Amino acid sequence: MSTVLALIVRRLALSGVILVLVSGIVFIGTEILPGDALDATIPADELMYYSDEDLARMRAELGLDKPAAERFLNVFRGLITFDFGVTLMTRESVINSIIHPLLNSLIMASVAIVLTPLVAIALGIWASLKPGGRTDGIVSGATLFAYSMPDFVVGNVFVIVFAIWLGLAPAVLLITESAPWYQILAVSILPVLALTVSGVAYQFRLLRAGMVEALASEFIERSRLSGVPEWRLVIIHALPAALIPMLNGTAQFVAGIISGVVVIEAVFKFPGIGIELIRSVSQREVPTVQAITFLAAFAVIVSNLMADISILALDPRVRRAKNDR
C-alpha cells in the first residue's frame, strides 16, 4: 500500500511540475512570442490606427512595461490561485464570465468521458467474441468510418438526422448559459453523442485487440477447459487485462476532448467553454484565453492522473514491478 501511495505522490509531484511548465508556455505564448501580448493582438496592417501614446497606454494597462520575470510571477500566481483577473473589454472578472460555460462543458464532457469507454467496451466485447466474423467486420468498419469523419460533419449530420428528420432531440439548444445542471444535461444528448462517436472508435480498437489477445491466452483456455462459463471468462478474466491499454486510449481521448468540445459546441451552439474560447480568441481577450488554456491543461493533467491511478489499481504487474525495484 505504501508503494501505491508513493507512486501517487510521485505522480502528483510530476503533475505539479507539468502545471508550472504549462503556465510558462501559456505565458510565453500569450505575452512574449512572437512579440508581446500587444503585438499578438494587433496585426501589422492595423498598427497605423494606433498612436504611440495609444500603444504606451495599452502596454501599461496590460502590465507589459514590467520585466518579464515579474510578469510571469504575477501570471503564475494568478493562474494557480485561479485568479484570472478581469476581461479587457468589459472589465468584469474572468472567472465569473467563464464559470458557467466551464461547468456546462464539464457536464457534457463528463458524460462523454463516462459513456465513451462504456460503449467501446460493449462493442469491443461483442466484436472480440468472434474475431474476423461478420459482427466484428461491421462494428470495426462502422467505427472506423465514424472516426474518420470530422467532428463538425458528425455534429451537423446528427442535427439533420436526429433533430430535423426524426425530431428526437432539439436542433437548437433553447437554454441559457446559467441554466441548472439537469437542464444542461437534458439538451446535451446530441452533443454528447457527437463527442462519443469520435472517441469510441480508437478505444474500441484498443479494447478489441486486448480482448482478442486475452481470450486467446493460455490462462483463459485453461479456465475454459475447467468449465468456467464463457461470460465469466470474458467479463471477469479477459476484460480487466484488456482494459489497461484501452485506458491509455481513454486518457488520450480526454486530452483530445478539449478540441472536440470546441468544435461540437460551435456546431450545436452549446453554451460551453469552447464557444467562450472562440469568442475570446476572436476578440483578443488575452486574460480569458489564458484562463481557459490553463484550465484545459489542468483538466488534462487531472484526467491523466486519474487514468494512471486506475491503471495502478487494475494492473498488479505495475504494482509488483515497482515493489521489485
Asked whether position 167 contacts another protein by CB under 8 A, the answer is yes
Q: Residue 177, SS3?
A: coil
86 vs 163 by CB, closer to another protein:
163
In the complex, least distance from residue 282 CB atom to another protein, rounded to whole angstroms: 5
Per CB under 8 A, 180 contacts another protein: no
**If binding is defined by CB under 8 A, does position 118 make contact with another protein?**
no
Binder of another protein out of 38, 127, 159, 262 (CB under 8 A):
159
**Long-range contacts at 284-288 (CB < 8 A, ≥ 24 apart):** 284/40, 284/41, 284/88, 285/87, 285/88, 285/89, 286/30, 286/31, 286/37, 286/40, 286/41, 286/62, 286/88, 287/84, 287/85, 287/86, 287/87, 287/88, 287/94, 288/84, 288/87, 288/94, 288/97, 288/98
Q: Write out the H or E segment, with its range, that includes residue 63.
A: none
Cα 95 from chain centre = 20
**DSSP character at residue 89:** T
- Which window, 8-16, 86-94, 181-189, 315-323, contacts another protein (CB under 8 A)? 86-94
For residue 81, give the 3-state DSSP assignment: coil
x-or-dash string of contact with another protein, 265-284, rule CB under 8 A = ----x-x-------x--xx-
Give the interface segment with another protein, choosing from 125-133, 162-170, 190-198, 227-235 (CB under 8 A): 162-170
CA distance 15 to 9: 10
**Residues found in the chain:** 325
Q: How far is the CB of 50 from another protein (least distance, A)?
A: 5
> Which residues from 4-63 bind another protein, rule CB under 8 A?
45-46, 48-50, 54
Residue 177 engages another protein in binding (rule: CB under 8 A): yes
Q: Which CB sits closer to another protein, 49 or 182?
A: 49
Tell which one of 80, 103, 142, 171 touches another protein (CB under 8 A): 171
Query: What is the spatial distance between Cα 115 and Cα 128, in angstroms, rounded to a whole number?
Result: 20
Shortest distance (Å) from residue 52 CB to another protein: 12
Instruction: Work out the widest C-alpha separation in the chain, in whole angstroms.
Output: 85
CB 12 within 8 A of CB 305: yes
How many residues bind to another protein according to rule CB under 8 A?
Answer: 28
**Surface-to-core class of residue 186, CB atoms within 10 Å of its CB (0-12 exposed, 13-18 middle, 19+ buried):** middle
Segment lying near another protein (by CB under 8 A), choices 156-164, 215-223, 228-236, 309-317: 156-164
Query: Smallest distance from the beta carbon of 295 to another protein, in angstroms?
Result: 20
- Which of 89, 161, 216, 321 binds another protein (CB under 8 A)? It is 89
**Rg of the chain's alpha carbons, rounded to an integer?**
24
Distance from C-alpha of 94 to C-alpha of 283, rounded to nearest angstrom:
14
Q: How far apart are CA 52 and CA 115, in angstroms?
A: 54
Could you say whether residue 138 binds another protein (CB under 8 A)?
A: no
Q: Which CB sits closer to another protein, 15 or 283?
A: 283
Q: Which stretch binds another protein (CB under 8 A): 13-21, 123-131, 158-166, 298-306?
A: 158-166
Binding another protein (rule: CB under 8 A), the pick from 64, 71, 84, 97 is: 97
Q: How far is the CB of 317 from another protein (least distance, A)?
A: 51
The residue from 1, 44, 174, 225 that contacts another protein (CB under 8 A) is 174
Among candidate residues 128, 304, 116, the one with its CA nearest the CA of residue 217: 128
Contact residues for another protein, defined by CB under 8 A: 45-46, 48-50, 54, 89-90, 92, 97, 156, 159, 163-164, 167, 170-172, 174-178, 269, 271, 279, 282-283
